[in-house]
């Protein structure tokens, strides 16, 4: 459906294949809704039992129908009362057996779709998270006083801080540690750039309209929702029908507009809000169109990704890097997609932040000098062969995955490892994250290999990072469209004899045939890859004429044998000129942050046990505020100490907040726990203070002049809370939690 980011692996499609939906490998939700641990074998058993349970249910329903007929026949024939009662008892027993099978089927479906937790409990957990996030102003719908606009959100103060901290760590982890070149390109992009990349033609989703109201829906989402609802809630569904719906989910991304429309009509799917009939599906381009300048003659678009700005600057970046490969360029910025029907909060929006890396490498050498640093990492991986054969995601060692060829090359593997480290250090649960390899029908023809870092949330598995080996497609596309060679060189110490492809367009014949288009046809012929050129040569020799696609014309032309000469010659070369391959990790920052919110959220009872208190267990690295300062009581001396602490924390670069309200200290702790603040400093004397850790609620006593350095070391990751407990005396006070 979508121009699979093939154009950008972070196309953020939520149409996950049923294969990857039904074979989950992790616990689903936090303690808020209880422990939902389950084993791989348990999940597989649930999936395997579904068909047998549906068959048993159908057989039991058949028995009920027969027994019901027997009861009616006995009653109509005036049979003895005892005979009728016995028949009714047998009917009721069959109904109880049917209810038991339905319960087993419900458990099996829940186990296959989300760690044994029901849809209702997942929804309740999500609602608790979202309510807390909006109430504490992490984010809210944009333009709220005007009833908002779907797919647009504002980040409030704590949300901005979390986002800023995530991006700062991204820069530290990737840009600085990998010595990348960071760029910042415009959001408005000329049409010609996005024509070359393929976005203008193919960056589409299939849309249907309510024929009466004109409301628009994504066609594949409607079909997916229908299939999932039938599978999860219709216990009368036969095993054969269930298998049919699962197959549709598995091939959903491959359905054409005609096939999608046929299925929508076959199943009687109507507009969700009005139940009105729907139009036939048709493609809708997801880019926001604009014009550059007042004349309106220069069309442009709001960029749907940041990558194209890096590609078009390759030549200058290559020169800046000393004409050396490999090197990587990075960019953080806003991207825009005019989603047909945004939903799922921050997971599917119309304006969002991307952080993308384009690592340029010699296609003949994709080794990585630092691969050994990540080779021993072990985490959940979901190779395509396991998906196709119906197996689960399982833990693999990254080095073994690369050596076996499961992951195409070392550089791709290195970035998979670095992405894993980045996400886990942010606070993503490593047991609720997996790397799923794209199936063959998900990848573009030119891609060598693609993996998605998927994080489990209450919505299911969410694609948050795409890591793709895109070969040399992007640079070649822009080279052809712009007529500027985006290439690299490898200089030889000694000249080498090489077999060289020679393409010689016959300009006289091309001029007669194509007149004003001669230049574009000539350039397209000269830019042919060797494989395409040799195929053309063979076809011209056997047929005398071939169809040839000219990108700049946007159409096929007929090339005859007398228009071009194609041969191979032995030449001496002093350097090798080639188009670099690109390894691209692409991060959806909003999606990562939302999953972090869910993974960090839990509740615990108040000291009195009369209410549940919300807590965000953010690591200090990403917490919106690193610590709070509380005078225990309203006292002038304590407030002076609090101000002194504030100055020292500010000087140390530690974000903090002073709370001098008269509220009880326990309530102040609860307020900051709900914001995810990791440390609370309570001023209860003029010489020393207590420092409380959020999750354990442990406190230590620290001298006033040492507080800033203690907090700084822990928040910067130079030491842990366990180290602090060893160095400073544990403090116990009833007052602290009252």
Q: What is the DSSP string of 100-138?
A: HHHHHHHHHHHHHHHTT--HHHHHHHHHHHHHHHHHTTS
| Measured distance CA(340)–CA(286) in Å, rounded | 8
| Measured distance CA(586)–CA(306) in Å, rounded | 9
pLDDT tens profile 205-230:
999 999 999 999 999 999 999 998 88
Query: What pTM was estimated for this model as a whole?
Result: 0.79
Q: For 609, left (φ over 0), alpha (ψ -120 to 50), or beta? A: left
Strands (E), 12-79: none
Specify whether the CB–CB gap between 227 and 288 falls below 8 A.
no
Query: What is the pLDDT at residue 112?
Result: 55
| Residue 329 CB neighbours (<10 A) | 25
Query: What is the pLDDT at residue 117?
Result: 58
| Measured distance CA(87)–CA(66) in Å, rounded | 11
- pLDDT band for 111, please (50, 70, 90 cuts): low
- By DSSP bridging, strand 627-631 and strand 612-616 are unpaired
| Inter-residue long-range contacts of 257-263, CB under 8 Å, 24+ positions, other chains counted | 257/206, 257/219, 257/281, 257/282, 257/283, 260/206, 260/219, 260/220, 260/223, 261/208, 261/219, 263/223
pLDDT tens profile 365-390:
999 999 999 999 999 999 998 887 87
| Measured distance CA(313)–CA(229) in Å, rounded | 47
Residue 681 bridge partners (DSSP) = 629, 691
pLDDT tens profile 663-686:
888 899 999 999 999 999 999 999
Longest CA–CA span in the chain (Å) reads 108
The residue length of the chain stands at 738
| Measured distance CA(65)–CA(87) in Å, rounded | 13
Answer whether residue 608 shows pLDDT above 90: no
| Measured distance CA(149)–CA(380) in Å, rounded | 37
pLDDT tens profile 5-57:
333 333 333 333 333 333 333 333 333 333 333 333 334 344 446 778 878 88
pLDDT tens profile 284-324:
999 999 999 998 889 999 999 999 999 999 999 999 999 99
- pLDDT band for 100, please (50, 70, 90 cuts): confident
| Residue 303 CB neighbours (<10 A) | 25
Indicate the SS3 state at residue 262: helix
Buried b (16+ CB within 10 A) or exposed e, 99-128: eebeebbeebbbbbbbbbbbbebbebbbeb
């Amino acid at each position: 459906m979508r121009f699979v980011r093939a154009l950008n692996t972070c196309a953020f499609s939520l149409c996950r294949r049923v294969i990857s939906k039904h074979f989950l490998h992790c616990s689903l939700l936090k303690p808020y809704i209880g422990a939902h641990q389950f084993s791989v074998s348990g999940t597989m058993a649930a999936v395997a039992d579904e068909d047998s349970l549906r068959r048993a249910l159908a057989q039991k329903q058949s028995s009920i129908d027969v027994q019901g007929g027997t009861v009616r026949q006995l009653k109509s024939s005036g049979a003895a009362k005892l005979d009728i009662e016995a028949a009714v008892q047998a009917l009721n027993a069959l109904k109880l057996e049917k209810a038991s099978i339905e319960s087993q089927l419900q458990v099996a479906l829940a186990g296959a779709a989300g760690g044994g937790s029901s849809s209702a409990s997942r929804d309740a957990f999500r609602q608790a998270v979202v309510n807390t996030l909006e109430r504490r102003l992490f984010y809210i719908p944009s333009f709220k006083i005007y009833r908002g606009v779907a797919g647009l959100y504002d980040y409030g103060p704590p949300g901005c801080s979390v986002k800023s901290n995530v991006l700062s760590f991204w820069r530290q982890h990737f840009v600085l540690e990998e010595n990348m070149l960071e760029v910042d390109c415009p959001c408005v992009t000329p049409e010609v750039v996005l024509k070359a990349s393929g976005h203008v033609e193919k960056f589409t989703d299939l849309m249907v309209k309510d024929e009466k109201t004109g409301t628009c829906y994504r066609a594949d989402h409607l079909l997916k929702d229908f299939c999932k609802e039938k599978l999860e809630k219709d216990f009368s569904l036969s095993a054969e029908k269930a298998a049919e719906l699962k197959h549709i989910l598995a091939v959903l991304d491959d359905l054409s507009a005609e096939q999608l429309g046929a299925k929508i009509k076959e199943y009687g799917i109507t507009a969700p809000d009005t139940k009105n009939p729907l139009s036939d599906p048709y493609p809708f381009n997801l880019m926001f169109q604009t014009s550059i300048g007042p004349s309106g003659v220069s069309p442009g678009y709001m960029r749907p990704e940041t990558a194209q700005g890096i590609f078009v600057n390759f030549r200058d970046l290559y020169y800046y890097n000393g004409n050396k490969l490999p090197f990587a360029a990075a960019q953080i910025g806003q991207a825009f997609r005019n989603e047909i029907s945004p939903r799922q909060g921050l997971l599917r929006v119309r304006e969002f932040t991307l952080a993308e890396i384009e690592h340029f490498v010699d296609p003949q050498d994709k080794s990585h000098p630092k691969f050994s640093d990540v080779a021993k990492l072990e985490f959940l991986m979901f190779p395509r062969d396991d998906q196709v054969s119906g197996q689960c995601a399982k833990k693999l060692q990254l080095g073994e995955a690369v050596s076996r060829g499961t992951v195409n090359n070392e550089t791709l593997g290195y970035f998979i490892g670095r992405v894993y480290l980045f996400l886990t250090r942010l606070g993503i649960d490593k047991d609720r994250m997996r790397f799923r390899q794209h199936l063959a029908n998900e990848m573009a023809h030119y891609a060598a290999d693609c993996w998605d870092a998927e994080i489990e949330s209450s919505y299911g598995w969410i694609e948050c990072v795409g890591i793709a080996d895109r070969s040399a497609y992007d640079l070649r596309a822009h080279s052809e469209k712009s007529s500027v060679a985006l290439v690299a060189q490898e200089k030889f110490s000694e000249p080498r004899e090489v077999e060289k492809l020679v393409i010689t367009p016959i300009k006289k014949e091309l001029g007669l045939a194509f007149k004003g288009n001669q230049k574009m046809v000539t350039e397209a012929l000269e830019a042919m890859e060797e494989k395409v050129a040799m195929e053309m040569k063979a076809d011209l020799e056997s047929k005398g004429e071939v169809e040839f696609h000219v990108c700049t014309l946007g159409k096929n032309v007929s090339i005859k044998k007398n228009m071009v000469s194609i041969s191979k010659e032995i030449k001496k070369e002093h350097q090798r000129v080639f188009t670099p391959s690109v390894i691209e990790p692409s991060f959806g920052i909003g999606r990562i942050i939302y999953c972090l919110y869910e993974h960090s959220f839990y509740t615990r009872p108040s000291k009195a046990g009369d209410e549940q208190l919300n807590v965000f267990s953010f690591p200090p690295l990403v917490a919106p505020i690193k610590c709070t300062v509380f005078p225990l009581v309203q006292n002038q001396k304590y407030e002076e100490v609090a101000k002194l602490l504030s100055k020292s924390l500010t000087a140390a670069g530690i974000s903090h907040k002073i709370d001098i309200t008269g509220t009880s200290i326990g309530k102040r702790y609860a307020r900051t726990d709900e914001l995810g603040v990791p440390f609370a400093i309570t001023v209860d004397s003029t010489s020393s203070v207590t420092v409380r850790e959020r999750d354990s609620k442990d406190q230590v006593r620290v001298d006033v002049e040492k507080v800033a350095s203690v907090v700084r070391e822990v928040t910067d990751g130079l030491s842990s809370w366990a180290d602090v407990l060893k160095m400073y005396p544990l403090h116990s006070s009833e007052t602290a939690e009252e």
